[in-house]
Chain A
Amino acid sequence: MSDKIINFDHVTFSYPDTESPAVKDLSFSIEKGSWTALIGHNGSGKSTVSKLINGLLAPDDLEKSTITVDGVKLAADTVWDIREKVGIVFQNPDNQFVGATVSDDVAFGLENRAVPREEMVKIVAQAVADVGMADYAGAEPSSLSGGQKQRVAIAGILAVKPKVMILDESTSMLDPEGKQQILDLVRRVKEENDLTVISITHDLDEAALADQVLVMDDGVLIDQGIPREIFAKVDLMEKIGLDIPFVYRLKQLLSGKGIQIPETVTSEEELVKSLCQLNLKM
């Protein structure tokens, strides 16, 4: 067994009646237990990739394209095995609420997995409390605020703990503090259970904390690597409609004013240190 939990090999996918593929000849792999940030401009193919991973969409030609998840090769007869392993929190939570109450909704994924009733009740209550929604356990999902809906959607996946958790812009409507809490929670559950996380995000400060960054541009994977390598490519990032994290942006502005900060400085703490040293030398 390799420690690659996801492997894409020359994957091409086109939506029906479109001229060009939404994902073109994509090859990459994701290490088990890692946190991957998938970034790219709107329409670059990120959500399409997530749906290919769990078999909601299938490559144009299964002969030429291979997708493997946790050792299982995606095919018509394995798609259900793969869906057991992969959970997605979709971009718009309204699209995935099925329960009449918050608790029912969070329970839904477990019901499908034949978890005994007593245990289920416990897991659901825990997940709902973990995302800070205990007061709303009996509420109707449709009556929640946008950020509350996102919390509930995340509780749904945390209750199931699939081997691969894909978060598609799932914290975009949370306030900064709430977002941090939820990301810390996901990270804790991931560490405790040795899960793999793929986070699709436009928040580059969040992406900067990933183990690996995959960069999509018009259906093509144009770069991949550790955050510090990726975000050092300021020009590339801007060319494809992205931005760079705060630290890199500030370094760039300072450099324009004749203040050079070493390339090895990639976090706020390092930048503070570096600036203080410069200040002392004055």
Chain B
Amino acid sequence: MSIKFKNVSYIYNPGSPLEAVGLDDLSFELEEGKFIALVGHTGSGKSTLMQHFNALLKPSSGEIEIAGYKITPETSNKGLKGLRQKVSLVFQFPEAQLFESTVLRDIEYGPKNFGFSDEEAEKVARKWLEKVGLKADVAEKSPFDLSGGQMRRVAIAGVMAYEPDIICLDEPAAGLDPQGRIEMMELFKQYQAEGHTVILVTHNMDDVADYADDVLVMEHGQLIKHDVPREVFKDRDWLFKHHLSEPHSSLFADKLGKAGFVIKQPLTINELADEIAARLKGVPHE
């Protein structure tokens, strides 16, 4: 199965003085089971798009097919619970959505809402608490007594605990410490490898290069590119024109090249180190 967007547009506050275009005629198809990165400037429409995957926002025009559901401007909210169990969204600033009296209850909320028994819900909650890197003794604390990064982890655990087929994560790594970021990215990658679809918004091009199979690039509400990372990062002039950044290793290789030390464009730091070493050790270049 795949996720299909056909000429999807979304207008905020239509007909009012605050009318604003959120999405402008998007058409694309995503293969399920992949790790998809969504990038673009602040305000380009990433979060607006993310909220369409589980119909929190419905298109003003156009049509979406996802997880066996068809969503059009006429789709009513009734009967969407099943969709939301299959396709879940971790909001940007998800910590704003925490509300229960303890961390454990907060994580149990989603599973219970989707029909897990109390016992099962507690079991998966404890499991995911650990998976997101929190200590077991956090379980009985109030979520409001946690640090920012700890809250972020609780919010992520709360959605992963009921294991949606498609998980949409809106800048999940912002505010996580460096190792925490890597651990969470690995967790999402593992989740995908186990047969789920991961759609992730990020500004970190190194994460795109390291983890994504497929990249969507947004600008002013439009989809301006849809390709694999290596292709997206290949055209430096295009990136520059759209004010998009590159993986750190590509940028560094470019600086090296300008200083006369030319190597093949690397996407990751390991590729970069390999290229440099091969060059310095006189290994012939392919």
Interface residues of A (CB under 8 A from B): 15, 18, 40-44, 46-47, 91-92, 94, 139-140, 143-148, 151, 168-169, 172-179, 202, 204, 238, 241-243, 246, 249-250, 253-254, 256-259, 268-269, 271-273, 275-276, 278-279, 282
Contacts and interface: CB of A to CB of B under 8 A. Distances in A.
Interface string B176-203: 1111111000000000000000000001
Interface string B242-272: 0101001000100110011100000001101
A278 B179 contact: no
Contact of A173 (B12, B171, B261): B171
8 contacts: A42-B147, A47-B148, A173-B171, A202-B177, A246-B269, A259-B280, A272-B255, A276-B260
Contacts of B12: 143
A42 B252 contact: no
A147 B18 CA distance: 19
Interface of B is mostly: helix
Interface of B: 12, 18, 40-43, 46-47, 92-93, 95-96, 145-150, 152-153, 170-171, 174-182, 203, 205, 243, 245, 248, 252, 255-256, 259-261, 269-270, 272-274, 276-277, 279-280, 282
Contacts of A175: 40-42, 203, 243, 245
Contacts of A91: 148, 175
Given A147-B43, A275-B256, 17 more contacts: A15-B145, A41-B179, A42-B152, A91-B148, A145-B43, A145-B46, A148-B43, A169-B175, A172-B174, A172-B175, A173-B92, A173-B174, A174-B203, A253-B273, A271-B252, A272-B256, A272-B259
Contacts of A146: 42, 47, 92-93, 170-171
A146 B175 CA distance: 13
A42 B92 contact: no
Contacts, number: 147
Contacts of A257: 273-274, 277
A-B interface, 6 closest residue pairs, ranked by CB to CB distance from nearest: A42-B149, A147-B42, A243-B178, A253-B273, A176-B245, A172-B174
Nearest to B278: A257
B282 A282 contact: yes
Contacts of B182: 243
A242 B46 CA distance: 29
A242 B179 CA distance: 6
Contact of B180 (A41, A151, A178, A269): A41
A229 to B, nearest CB: 19
B246 to A, nearest CB: 9
B261 A275 contact: yes
B96 A43 contact: no
Contacts of B255: 268-269, 272
Contacts of B171: 146, 173
A257 B203 CA distance: 31
Contacts of B277: 254, 257-259
Contacts of B146: 43
